[in-house]
A and B are shown apart, each in its own frame.
Chain A
Amino acid sequence: KQEVTQIPAALSVPEGENLVLNCSFTDSAIYNLQWFRQDPGKGLTSLLLIQSSQREQTSGRLNASLDKSSGRSTLYIAASQPGDSATYLCAVEYGNKLVFGAGTILRVKS
């Protein structure tokens, strides 16, 4: 069964800290892995997409890595800001569908 797990479930940090969100997946036959941000009551915003042949992607203060063989991905957020507070979702693409993790709820305190 294709499952995606995210650790931790919630994280509260002071502003300015660097932090790491973890994602693991059971089926390594992936097309790609995407990290999304979800704000309360709103849709999902794609942050980064890593193709199955890639090891990492960077966008501004965000860096995502992928280790397909071990079934893991990490999202690194540098110099966190209160505006980063949101739920971060990891999703793995298998064919025509994304399988989502439950998310990490991030709170950055000012």
Chain B
Amino acid sequence: EPEVTQTPSHQVTQMGQEVILRCVPISNHLYFYWYRQILGQKVEFLVSFYNNEISEKSEIFDDQFSVERPDGSNFTLKIRSTKLEDSAMYFCASARQPNEKLFFGSGTQLSVL
């Protein structure tokens, strides 16, 4: 069964450093998302992306965050200057159409020291 792939599975960085989290969505999917889950808290929406544009973003997704689809297969989340509170599990997700099942990757555990 096709799956969403995320790399790396774990990322440790120093506060203030830039990180790029990578995702390969399912090949025929057109809608892409990033969510995050801080330890012990709910899964939170960050951003949705379609047709090379952000469709919607949450209050969390401030100027320090950006997303990009640099080629036909990858979808990336960049955090320019990481803060301690950015430590979380970051999930990428994709869907073929809106209002259809969302397929999630296994996540990248980001630790900011």
| B 82-113 to A, binary, CB cutoff 8 A, 1 in contact else 0 | 00000000010100001111111111000000
Q: Are A97 and B99 in contact (CB under 8 A)?
A: no
Question: Looking at chain A, what size class is its interface with the partner chain?
Answer: 20 to 34
Q: Are B48 and A49 in contact (CB under 8 A)?
A: no
Question: At the interface, yes or no: A99 with Cβ under 8 Å from chain B?
Answer: yes
Question: At the interface, yes or no: A84 with Cβ under 8 Å from chain B?
Answer: no
A103–B43 alpha-carbon span in the complex (Å): 9
Q: Are A43 and B105 in contact (CB under 8 A)?
A: yes
| A 91-109 to B, binary, CB cutoff 8 A, 1 in contact else 0 | 1010111111111000000
A96–B98 alpha-carbon span in the complex (Å): 8
Residues on B with beta carbons closer than 8 Å to the beta carbon of A100: 42-44
Q: Are B43 and A44 in contact (CB under 8 A)?
A: yes
How many whole Å from A99's CB to the nearest CB in chain B?
Answer: 7
Interface residues of B (CB under 8 A from A): 4, 33, 35, 41-45, 48, 50, 55-56, 58, 91, 93, 98-107
